[in-house]
Amino acid sequence: MVTAELLQTACGHLKFTSKKHCVLTHFESIPVKSGMVQKLDQKLPVANEYLLLSGGVREGVVDLDLDELNVYARGTDYDMDFTLLVPALKLHDRNQPVTLDMRHSALCHSWLSLRLFDEGTISKWKDCCTIVDHINGATNYFFSPTKVADWFYDSISIVLSEIQKKPQRGMPKVEKVEKNGTIISIILGVGSSRMLYDIVPVVSFKGWPAVAQSWLMENHFWDGKITEEEVISGFYLVPACSYKGKKDNEWRLSFARSEVQLKKCISSSLMQAYQACKAIIIKLLSRPKAISPYHLRSMMLWACDRLPANYLAQEDYAAHFLLGLIDDLQHCLVNKMCPNYFIPQCNMLEHLSEETVMLHARKLSSVRSDPAEHLRTAIEHVKAANRLTLELQRRGSTTSIPSPQSDGGDPNQPDDRLAKKLQQLVTENPGKSISVFINPDDVTRPHFRIDDKFF
């Protein structure tokens, strides 16, 4: 039986997955310096805004394909994980819905023609485009997610190489840099901790896509709790294609910024249930590829719309919510139907084979018959990872070998303080925008802004 005490214990151990979010307007705080990347060939926007999400791509914080990612284990490879969305291009138009070119794509996906941009932008990015010549002699450049990812990985590698040639006191140690499909994964040694950053090149839009306009006309659980302006402040194109799409041309719509706002309106007991359910199914249903944590997140948002607000607000109903999420997941699997929350006409499970559906349905039936035992198993896995992390940190502290990035003395101490300060701010200010302003020549004196307040 799943009890409130078991769920509280689970969430205590799973607290690292409780999603808080912040916006970084300077990339220098995780030493891959955007200024240095921008200076390589002036491709990136000079004034840029980066969305930092607590939790890596594997945790489902963004709707990306997980089958191309290398397997990293918490405790063995990293201690904390984040996802950073880095705009390669920006379009700002709040006055009318954004119309995307979806003629060649499945729902929730789009090609992006650089005709929307000026000649200077086309000239800078044409080497990261696929080219289509028309009968009338015109040439169209389509922004390619795979080519952009290749360029970004090469640029980051160059920057990291330069940083390592001229180490600065307080800069974290780069332990690993890998390209996983269109995602660049970097593991940094920050003091005694290892941080995994999944860096995703995106296209950033202000405003709202025309294909999702009808969603705004419906009633939602967040009505009256936050403003529509907060929800529709912007969206992204992320480098992922549909099941039968062309990887070189197709981008996927992402509403990560909106999801940050919606999470303010979700009760703590439902979030506990979501984290527990995710911990149970994240590996159980990952192979063969079928259900991702992002699917579970979408089901939770639909449940918020469907169920009465006073029911969802019950503080001691976390166990009920966990069983409900498992039942919703089973229902979606059997019917091969999981609508995207923002674009309901897009079914994210329609490509699944009957064989895969039945395999995962049987696994879920096993979970539903004894969810408490599966939750205890997930807790034990987390405990083991935490013990391994503490052991590695203990070994690191006893060896006292200075980091090659730290110039001796107190290794990594300034940046360790920064990391801890940022983690404290994110934890104490859930759902708020936190900006970090850092002088790249002196990372020891950061300035912070929470919403519109500076300190």
Given a cut of 70, is residue 292 above it in pLDDT? yes
CATH classification of the domain holding 294: 3.30.460.90
Considering the domain boundaries, does residue 242 fall inside one?
yes
The structural domain count of the chain equals 1
pLDDT confidence of residue 7: 53
pLDDT tens per residue, range 378-407: 777 777 766 766 776 666 554 433 333 333
**Higher pLDDT pick, 172 / 99:** 99
pLDDT-above-90 percentage for the chain: 40
- If 0-12 CB within 10 Å is exposed, 13-18 middle and 19+ buried, where does residue 453 land? exposed
Residues facing residue 197 across a β-bridge? 82, 186
Backbone angles phi, psi at 254, to 5 degrees: -130, 135
pLDDT at 290 exceeding the cut of 80: no
182 within a domain of the structure (yes/no):
yes
Q: What is the mean pLDDT of the chain?
A: 80
> Mean pLDDT, to the nearest integer, of 284-309?
88
d(CA 228, CA 216): 8
Query: pTM score, two decimals?
Result: 0.81
For residue 44, is it within any domain? yes
What are the angstrom distances between the C-alpha of 202 and each of 90, 145, 248, 255, 285?
A: 9, 8, 14, 12, 28
The residue written with tokens 């919703």 in the block is 328
Residue 402 lies in a domain: no
Q: Is residue 330 part of a domain?
A: yes
Position 438 pLDDT exceeds 60: no
Q: Across residues 417-437, what is the average pLDDT?
A: 61
Tokens for 3, please give them. Answer: 């009890």
| Higher per-residue confidence, 146 vs 167 | 146
Of 66, 12, 47, residue with least CA distance to 287? 66
Q: How confident is the model at residue 455 (pLDDT cuts 50, 70, 90)?
A: low
Q: Is the pLDDT of residue 346 over 80?
A: yes
Give domain status of residue 401, yes or no: no
Instruction: Name the residue among 18, 57, 54, 60 with its Cα closest to residue 292.
Output: 60
> Residue 145 is part of which domain span?
4-391
Is the pLDDT at 10 greater than 80? The verdict is no
DSSP 307-346: S-HHHHT-TT-HHHHHHHHHHHHHHHHHHT--B-SSSTT-
Phi/psi-derived region of residue 307, left when phi > 0, alpha when psi is between -120 and 50, beta in every other case? beta
Q: Which long-range contacts (CB under 8 A, 24 or more apart) does 154-158 make?
A: 155/37, 155/40, 155/41, 155/43, 156/32, 156/37, 156/184, 156/186, 156/199, 158/40
What is the per-residue pLDDT across 153-179, written as a single tens digit (0 to 9) for each?
999 888 888 877 777 766 778 889 999
> Please, how many CA atoms are within 13 Å of residue 5, restricted to the half-sphere of its CB?
1
Q: Which amino acid is at 336?
A: K
Residue at 209 is within a domain = yes
- Is 25 a domain residue? yes
- Residue 436: which of 449, 455, 417, 425 has the closest Cα? 449
